Amino acid sequence: MQTTYRTHTSGQLTAADAGAAVRLAGWVDSARDHGGVIFIDLRDRYGRTQCVFNPASSPDAHALAEGLGSQDVLAVAGTVRPRPEEAVNPRIATGAIEVHVDSAEVLAESDTPPFEISDDVEVGEDVRLRHRYVDLRRPAMQRNLLARARIVRTMRRTLEEDGFVEVETPLLTKSTPEGARDFLVPSRASPGRFYALPQSPQLFKQILMIAGYDRYYQIARCLRDEDLRADRQPEFTQLDLEMAFVAEDDVMAATERVVAAVIRDLLGAEVEVPLPRLSYAEAMRDYGTDKPDRRFEMRLKDVSDLARASEFRVFSGAVESGGEVRGLAVPGAGAQFTRKEIDDLAPFAADFGAKGVAWLKCGAEGLTGPIAKFFSGEQLAQLREKMGADEGDLLLFVADAPAVVAASLGALRLHLGRRLGLIPEDEIDLCWITEFPLLEWDPETQRHYSMHHPFTSPLPEDLDRLESDPGSVRARAYDLVLNGVELGGGSIRIHRPPAQERVFRLLGIGEAEARQTFGFLLDALRFGAPPHGGIALGLDRFVRLMIGAGSIRETIAFPKTQRAQCLMTGAPGPVDERQLADLHLRLRPEATQEEA
């Protein structure tokens, strides 16, 4: 880089530059006075360079260095010299040299920072977010954002090589009734009408396929006004892509090429493709979740047949009432866990709806425990065989409705896998989950909802049951899972108007509502829509997994808190009456009082 202020960055100079006259500019990272000679570490995002201010050779520069504070912005000019052998620092790229300063200029002074600019600083996240401009100077945050940029660059390069074209879709669009709440934007030019910020580019990318663009992608900003959880943001970024004249295999293969390229470029690891595939039914059966972490075993086992024949009424009654009994064999835990530690698992499972957790230990003499007396010796032997239990294992059982059994045992599996150190943290496991249910039933509203979205195509072989048995219909949908975390999902879309209208009717969306909300898509489908499908991968989540960050807030330059607030800017904030009047809005008195 050749600019007025610097000929090199602070991470660029090496022993090969010895004797060169250079200019550097950056922030004062640290200062040390050794016998009157001042050593300043000058830092920018590229690294650090040690600068030497000697009063004998450069008295003016030395006098300036005496008054420098941490994070002052400094420009220096001087000569590169090798460090003395005993002072070489092999941990940094510039550790073999130092710059002996001839002249220096303070470009800007800094107040005392609210916390130290280092990776091991212990400070609350709220303080870091409030002073994000300081926090982003920390090497860890700079590495995170540079890794994010590298991942996006690899994604773009791979897709461009695969024939995809990047197209931007609107941020001001129309509100739709499906999905999370929209962020609404009042229109000044059309009083009483509102734009919605996009939850995804879904309808626009489908229209691009109808328009003939064949292979589209976008690094898309998406916004959802939903209740927040620990690792969710109201605005997020996804890699969004859509393809025409394709089936599931084509979309999956294109996605695999992108993900494999990112992992190869960032981690130097190879991903074997095609990736393994599990149906939704298989994932729920074996892992109790549609986001299975397959890096360790401990699969769930259905023991409903043995439970029905037992004298344990909790088990037999659950099966007779339409529920099921499934179990989990925890390796070695029978020998390790005390009775209290086992009993403490029940409250954990209760958070997922389980009314209790029954257990047995597998010892040299067979299965023992509180419920062993309800089974015959032969039944206990069959139970051990079905569970695949070895001596020292702990067997855990839940009896309830299938959804409760899956959720509670699936959560217990992950909890115990982490607790017992069974999950290899350095392993990468990717898989596809396919054939999701098209619909899910909400008992409160007594209606079906789309498990993904209403534009997802049913499997052709299930279409004849769409009206007669909608709950059994499977979707042409697929999710990509990495180490137990959903990276994203997609589907083959409905491309024929009659099929789309059937699904709308099933969802309780009448013809008038469909026309009002989705009329532009329905019109477009009438003008020659090719078979098409796509996927969206959560970029923030992908980056977090790739760099091992604890939260997606560590991968976003300016994230919101769990209350959807920006502590740095104070957003969301009040607006004045004139702005509201321009938008034809007036606040309710109670809202104004709450703000005050």
* 326 and 348 inside one domain: yes
pLDDT tier, 60 (very low <50, low <70, confident <90, very high otherwise): very high
Does residue 484 register a pLDDT over 80?
yes
- Using CA atoms, how far apart are residues 150 and 104, in angstroms rounded to an integer? 34
Q: Is the pLDDT of residue 374 over 50?
A: yes
Residues 333 and 435 in one domain: no
Q: What pTM, to 2 d.p., does this model score?
A: 0.93
Q: Do 147 and 71 fall within a single domain?
A: no
**For 107-158, what is each residue's pLDDT tens digit?**
999 999 999 999 988 999 999 999 999 999 999 999 999 999 999 999 999 9
pLDDT(190) > 80: yes
- Nearest-angstrom CA–CA distance, 383 and 398: 14
d(CA 343, CA 330): 15
Is 60 exceeded by the pLDDT of residue 199?
yes
**What's the pLDDT score for residue 592?**
55
**Token pair of 245 as six digits:** 């004249």
What pLDDT is attached to residue 226? 84
**How many other C-beta atoms lie within 10 A of the C-beta of residue 371?**
20
> In the numeric block, which tokens belong to residue 171?
């941020």
Please give the pLDDT value at position 421: 95
As a whole number of angstroms, the distance between CA 373 and CA 395 comes to: 15
Same domain, yes or no: 102 and 185: no
369 and 458, same domain (yes or no): no
Q: Which residue has the higher pLDDT, 577 or 592?
A: 577
**Same structural domain, 317 and 400:** yes
Please tell me the distance from the alpha carbon of residue 533 to that of residue 117, in angstroms, as a whole number: 46
- Among 367, 397, 419, where does a domain finish? 419
The pLDDT value recorded for residue 556 is: 97
Say if 301 falls within a structural domain.
Answer: yes
pLDDT score of 325: 97
Q: Do both 146 and 273 map to the same domain?
A: yes
- For residues 444-466, give the mean pLDDT: 92
Please state, for a pLDDT cut of 90, what percent of the chain lies above it: 90
Do 464 and 516 fall within a single domain?
yes
Q: What is the pLDDT of residues 258-309, one digit of tens each?
A: 999 999 999 999 999 999 999 999 999 999 999 999 999 999 999 999 999 9
Whether the CA torsion 368, 372, 378, 381 is positive or negative: it is negative
Half-sphere exposure for 387 (CA within 13 Å, toward CB): 31
**pLDDT reported for residue 231:** 76
Here the tokens at position 11 are: 């991470």
Mean predicted confidence (pLDDT) in 182-211: 95
User: Do 394 and 305 share a domain, yes or no?
Assistant: yes
- The candidate with the shortest Cα–Cα distance to 147, out of 557, 555, 558, is 555
Do you find a cis peptide bond into 531, omega within 30 degrees of 0?
Answer: no
pLDDT (0 to 100) of residue 596: 47
Q: What is the CATH number of the domain that holds 199?
A: 3.30.930.10
Kindly state whether residue 129 falls inside one of the protein's structural domains. no
212: left (phi over 0), alpha (psi -120 to 50) or beta: left
pLDDT at 594: 52
Residue 589 pLDDT class (50, 70, 90 cuts): confident
State the residue for tokens 């909790």: 314
Domain co-membership, 97 together with 157: no
Q: How many CA atoms lie within 13 A of 56 on its CB side?
A: 3
Are 446 and 544 found together in one domain?
Answer: yes
Domain count, the chain: 3
User: CATH number of the domain that 66 lies in?
Assistant: 2.40.50.140
Question: Average pLDDT in the 85-95 region?
Answer: 95
Report d(CA 537, CA 486) in Å as an integer. Answer: 9
Residue given tokens 């020659």 in the structure block: 528
Whether residue 125 is contained in a domain is answered as no
Which tokens hold the place of 143? 């590495």
Within 13 Å of residue 138, how many CA atoms lie on the same side as its CB? Answer: 23
Mean of all residue pLDDT scores within the chain: 94
Residue 357 sits in the same domain as residue 379: yes
Examine residue 90 and state whether it is found in any structural domain, yes or no: yes
The domain that holds 394 is classified in CATH as 3.30.1360.30
Q: Tokens at residue 46, please?
A: 């590229």
pLDDT category, 1, cuts 50, 70, 90? very low
CA 34 – CA 52 distance, rounded (Å): 10
Let me know if 426 is exposed, middle or buried by CB neighbors in 10 A (0-12, 13-18, 19+). Answer: exposed
Residue 281 main-chain phi, psi, to 5 deg: -60, -40
Cβ atoms within 10 Å of 211's Cβ, excluding its own: 14
Structural domain containing residue 157: 142-277+430-554
pLDDT > 70: what percent of the chain? 98
Domain boundary among 419, 450, 483: 419
Report yes or no on 563 lying in a domain. Answer: no
pLDDT bucket at 478, cuts 50 / 70 / 90: very high
